[in-house]
Amino acid sequence: MNKFINRISELASLREAHAKPGAGLFVLYGRRRLGKTTLLRQFCADVPAVYHVADRSTEHEALRLLAQSMSMALREPTLAEASYPDWYALFRAYDRFRKGRKPVLVLDEYQYLCEAQPALSSILQRYWDEHWKHQEVMLVLSGSVTSMMYREALARSSPLYGRRTGQWLLRPLRFSQTMEFVSARSPRELLALWGLTGGVPYYLELAAGYRGFREALTGLVLKKGGALYEESAFLIRDEIATPNTYWSLLQTIGNGVSRISEIAARMGLPANQLTRYLDVLRDMGLVRRDVTVTEANPALSKKGLYQLTDPFLRLWFGCVQPYMSLLELGRAVEVERLMQERLQRHLAWAYEDVCRQHVEDFASVPGIVRVGRYWDRSTELDVAAVDEKGALVFAAECKWTSRPVGLDVVRKLEEAVAKVPGHVPSGVRLGLFSTAGFTPPVAAWAKARDAVLVDGAGLLR
């Protein structure tokens, strides 16, 4: 990534941590491709910093490369010329030459250093307690393998537990934060590109180089050798040492199997064996467990449905992966034709997700505390919001369509709201989202009912 876009809160958190007196240990983590490196470089531009990105080197080479980064940042050739028998020796050398008020040492891709020296977190803990804890210095540990970063720097069992003074789990951008990456497109194109890239900055930058969604899909994903052709496999292999079961889980959920009993049956495993795998995928931000928004105790609900959180992974597993044999033969045009029905379902799902984000970000309905979906055996609401008592206060339908929405959708929404128990239908504000706008009768209904109408352009504000 070359551009710094929309990581204002994260950058402010790093700067605030640096401004505090005394020692600081900040942990920045999150899955690959989210822009951690760009964020850290932006932060380092304004403070006296050594920034080092690790790779999969041996311990000896890791020490040499870190010394080289220190030497270049501090402009001290002797740091790179010396040999260091261990990490303590290198940290002592850094302390002799570090400069400026509250110097910063950033160890990016920290998990690779831990692979080279499994005891590194313990070594850092000792050096921190003996030296840096009492000084004006800031250490930033950053990594893209969420599970390892948690184990090495955040978990109660970690040697560094209790030392950190700040942390930030970097997540994908929201739809409203992505406009600067792929601006000057029609609302429908921007929404379709969201269905391809989600809020992952790297994917967004790649897609910005294409004329439109269809070209980006073909060039990045369907074409063998495309930048994202093997991205799903890389992501899972980087994050998880034994990926087979996780891959099968993602594939199963990505194909629309959402209840844990059905997932277990499809995979041929007992449901109670899947829980720990699902928990890891949830911690990574790749899978979520949805419950109806009116559920009083979501964690205890037995009605949870598992969904892939990331639009790109959902696109890959739900639309692309079933045709991998054809793609390997270079038949991308044929695959694009075969996957159209799946693709339109996926884009409709991504659009609904954006609509829920819109309500969370711009809701004008008083009292909303939670936004999600509602469903039971007889009805379903694409967007539903409740107040602090769990009562329904807003409900909306979302239509990924090429034709203006008519009164038939209005009637369907009103009937669905009337079936939701535990509220007065007249007390629920209604809304419609449509990529193609609304017919005049719907506009008149909305004015009379004080309903919310949001077309494609309305999502771009």
Over residues 155-184, the pLDDT tens digits come to: 888 889 889 899 998 999 999 988 888 877
Residue pair 347/314 in contact by the 8 Å Cβ criterion: no
pLDDT band at 367 (very low <50, low <70, confident <90, very high): confident
Which residues in 403-419 are b (16+ Cβ under 10 Å) and which e? ebbeeebbeebeebbee
294: part of which helix (H) or strand (E)? Answer: none
CA angle 352, 356, 358 (to 5 degrees): 115
pLDDT band at 2 (very low <50, low <70, confident <90, very high): low
Long-range contacts of 451-458 (CB under 8 A, 24+ apart): 452/364, 452/365, 452/394, 452/396, 454/355, 454/358, 455/187, 456/186, 456/187, 456/188, 456/191, 457/187, 458/358
Strands of the sheet with 138-143, listed across from one edge: 49-53, 104-108, 138-143, 24-29, 166-169
Crossing angle for the helix pair 244-254 and 271-283, to the nearest 10 degrees: 90
pLDDT band at 440 (very low <50, low <70, confident <90, very high): very high
Residue pair 141/173 in contact by the 8 Å Cβ criterion: no
Beta-strand ranges (E) seen in 22-143 are 24-29, 49-53, 104-108, 138-143
Percent of the chain with pLDDT over 70: 98
pLDDT band at 364 (very low <50, low <70, confident <90, very high): low
The whole-angstrom separation of Cα 270 and Cα 245 is 13
CA-nearest of 15, 40, 41 to 30 is 40
Rounded to the nearest 5°, which phi and psi values hold at 183?
A: -75, 180
Residue-wise pLDDT for 250-286, tens only, equals: 999 999 999 999 999 999 989 888 988 898 888 888 8
The whole-angstrom separation of Cα 66 and Cα 120 is 14
**Neighbour tally for 87: CB within 10 Å:** 20
pLDDT band at 3 (very low <50, low <70, confident <90, very high): low
User: Structural domains in the chain?
Assistant: 8-169 (3.40.50.300), 177-341 (1.10.10.10), 363-460 (3.40.1350.10)
Q: Is the pLDDT of residue 1 over 70?
A: no
Q: Which two tokens stand for residue 409?
A: 């959708």
Q: Is the pLDDT of residue 247 over 60?
A: yes
Residue-wise pLDDT for 34-59, tens only, equals: 999 999 999 999 999 999 999 999 99
- Share the mean pLDDT of the chain: 92
Q: Which two tokens stand for residue 15?
A: 């700067």
What's the confidence (pLDDT) of residue 403?
Answer: 95
* Exposed / middle / buried, residue 225 (Cβ in 10 Å: 0-12, 13-18, 19+): exposed
* Exposed / middle / buried, residue 151 (Cβ in 10 Å: 0-12, 13-18, 19+): middle
The whole-angstrom separation of Cα 115 and Cα 67 is 18
Total-model pTM: 0.89
Which residues contact residue 289 at a Cβ distance below 8 angstroms, ignoring those fewer than 6 apart? 278, 282, 304, 305, 306, 307
Residue with tokens 């989600």, as numbered in its chain: 198
Residue pair 424/328 in contact by the 8 Å Cβ criterion: no
Instruction: Pinpoint the alpha helices (H) of 23-75.
Output: 36-44, 59-74
pLDDT band at 409 (very low <50, low <70, confident <90, very high): very high
User: What is the mean predicted confidence (pLDDT) over 85-96?
Assistant: 96
